[in-house]
Amino acid sequence: FEHLVVELLVAMGYGGSRKDAGEAVGGSGDGGVDGIIKEDRLGLDAIYLQAKRWEGTVGRQVVQAFAGSLEGHRARKGVLITTSQFSPDALDYVTRIEKKIVLIDGEKLAELMIDYGIGVTIDVSYEIKRLDADYFEEEL
């Protein structure tokens, strides 16, 4: 799941190529960070990621712990992504702290995956054509 999140952010234009733009670092002892991605191709700033593959609602405590993890990395920006949803208290919390944390719930994650073609394949594609009236205009 952490690799999918990094791939998605690279597809959205963060970092550069997949090779050097970001990395999944999740695992035991990850310090509450599952991935790090460059904000731009020059790597002027980094965005720290946490991915939660949950069914239950993600509450304020989880978001607050992630904000603390950012402090431990001297980071100012983070993205917390879940397959479920965030509690109203969690959504409110990120609006009141100094750090910039973007929360992406399962519904928004699915939309972004479809929009950027990550983890999805095209099943059926339709092409609709219309008559080009300019083609048939007589030259004077």
pLDDT in tens, 44-78: 888 999 998 888 999 999 999 999 999 888 889 99
Domains of the chain: 2-136 (3.40.1350.10)
pTM: 0.77
Please give the mean pLDDT across all residues of the chain.
86
pLDDT, position 28: 47
Query: CA-CA distance, 92 to 119, in Å (whole number)?
Result: 30
